[in-house]
């Protein structure tokens, strides 16, 4: 689920089914001088809010979420495109979700013909309501019970519904061998992690601690998983968590990272940084995590990218923008990193997708 974006991402109207990046020339200095892990950075999208970009199994295609209000895009929809071979060529992408409801958390299937994503379109064609923070007085985001996980082809046709249970089902990613999906569900009354086969069979719950567990993914070697989690401890914290959850809300301002075996056993906490630590992914060698965090900033902003060992040591800040860097993911071959950022947006609130060569 995409969180902590400066604005929400949403769907492109059907008249913009085939969308092209704006005719903007990518500057040569997108990376800061001390971002030593980034080389040959280029900007793929220009304008709107673009986030949660994920590589396909072929290293050449990505899927992502996009909102662009000026294009008539009121809430999240899923887009797909091939990464240009040359930095001089523009990134072309197209809508591959239905254009109805709100969508989130897309991931390309290993057959290179389909993708999975979560959508609310079975409940309504329009965007579900967003929380009224003027009344709630807290930073919260919604857990829509109408989210279910679907498989679709690249023409936007739903080919299979993978979940059909009461409550939130979303945040699905696929194991490197292409056999298993890990996802987040509220089917037991709390927000936990589950696994299932890619055809929706053999559903298993793998976390059971009170608190939000989500945003999970597998390590490149397939042996481990990582995810973000809130862990309310005191009676007051647990009461607040459950009261918000009963309203379909969570407060994601305090989350830490965890790792476990792929089946959920031997779970252990990685970070103890406070604030919001989230969007974890494994490094190509499956030995460290890359993630987004605001823990260095008392006001909760900006967010930057960090590396950390599984035992919490070796913490290294690797991005230097003073606004928002998040949603990092490595290509399956480990050569490239993709992430979302507010850099180079001219001082507005646009969030765009950036691609670079990874320097270890």
Over residues 94-111, the pLDDT tens digits come to 999 999 999 999 999 999
What are residue 72's phi and psi, to 5 degrees? 75, 45
Q: What would the pLDDT profile of 40-89 be if each residue is shown by its tens digit? A: 999 999 999 999 999 999 999 999 999 888 887 789 999 999 999 988 89
The answer to the question of residue 27 being in a domain is no
Q: What would the pLDDT profile of 234-275 be if each residue is shown by its tens digit? A: 999 999 999 999 999 999 889 999 999 999 999 999 999 999
The answer to the question of residue 28 being in a domain is no
Residue 68: predicted pLDDT: 87
- Split at pLDDT 50, 70, 90, the class of 24 is very low
Number of structural domains (the chain) is 1
Asked if the model's pLDDT at residue 22 lies above 80, the reply is no
pTM for this predicted structure: 0.91
Residue 21: predicted pLDDT: 38
The answer to the question of residue 192 being in a domain is yes
- Split at pLDDT 50, 70, 90, the class of 225 is very high
- Nearest Cα neighbor of 243 from 127, 132, 140 is 140
Q: What is the mean pLDDT of residues 137-146?
A: 90
Structural domain containing residue 172: 14-21+35-358
The answer to the question of residue 209 being in a domain is yes
- Nearest Cα neighbor of 60 from 83, 38, 78, 76 is 83
Domain of 144: which CATH number? 2.120.10.30
The answer to the question of residue 29 being in a domain is no
- Split at pLDDT 50, 70, 90, the class of 136 is confident
The answer to the question of residue 219 being in a domain is yes
Length of the chain: 360
Asked if the model's pLDDT at residue 188 lies above 70, the reply is yes
Q: Judge whether 67 and 76 are in contact, CB under 8 Å.
A: yes
Cα–Cα distance measured from residue 119 to residue 170, given in angstroms and rounded to the nearest whole number = 8
Residues 6+ apart with CB under 8 A from 67: 7, 8, 9, 10, 11, 48, 49, 50, 73, 74, 75, 76
The answer to the question of residue 8 being in a domain is no
Residue 204: predicted pLDDT: 98
The answer to the question of residue 30 being in a domain is no
């Amino acid at each position: 689920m995409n969180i902590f974006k400066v604005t929400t991402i949403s769907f492109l109207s059907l008249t913009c089914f085939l969308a092209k990046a704006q005719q903007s020339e990518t500057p040569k200095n997108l990376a800061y001088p001390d971002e030593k892990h980034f080389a040959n950075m280029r900007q793929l999208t220009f304008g709107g809010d673009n986030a949660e970009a994920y590589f396909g199994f072929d290293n050449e295609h990505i899927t992502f979420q996009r909102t662009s209000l000026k294009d008539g895009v009121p809430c999240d929809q899923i887009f797909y495109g091939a990464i240009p071979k040359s930095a001089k060529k523009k990134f072309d992408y197209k809508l591959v979700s239905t254009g109805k409801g709100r969508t989130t958390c897309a991931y390309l299937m290993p057959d290179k013909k389909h993708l999975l994503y979560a959508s609310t379109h079975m409940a309504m064609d329009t965007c579900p309501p967003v929380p009224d923070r003027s009344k709630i007085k807290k930073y919260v985001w919604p857990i829509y019970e109408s989210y279910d996980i679907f498989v679709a082809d690249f023409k936007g046709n739903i080919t299979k519904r993978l979940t059909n249970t009461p409550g939130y089902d979303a945040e699905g990613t696929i194991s490197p061998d292409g056999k298993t999906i890990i996802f987040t569900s509220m089917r037991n009354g709390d927000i936990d992690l589950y696994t299932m086969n890619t055809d929706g069979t053999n559903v298993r719950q793998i976390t059971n601690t009170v608190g939000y567990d989500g945003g999970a993914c597998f390590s490149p070697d397939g042996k481990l998983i990582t995810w973000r989690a809130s862990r309310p401890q005191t009676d007051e914290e647990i009461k607040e968590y459950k009261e918000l959850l009963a309203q379909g809300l969570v407060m994601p301002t305090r989350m830490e990272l965890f790792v476990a075996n792929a089946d959920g056993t031997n779970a252990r906490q990685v970070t103890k940084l406070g604030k919001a630590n989230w969007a974890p992914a494994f490094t190509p060698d499956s030995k460290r995590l890359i993630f987004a965090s605001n823990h260095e900033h008392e006001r909760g902003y900006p967010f930057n990218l960090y590396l950390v060992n599984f035992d919490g040591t070796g913490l290294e800040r690797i991005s230097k923008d003073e606004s928002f860097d998040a949603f990092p993911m490595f290509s399956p071959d480990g050569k490239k990193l993709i992430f979302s950022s507010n850099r180079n947006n001219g001082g507005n609130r646009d969030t765009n997708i950036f691609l670079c060569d990874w320097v270890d």
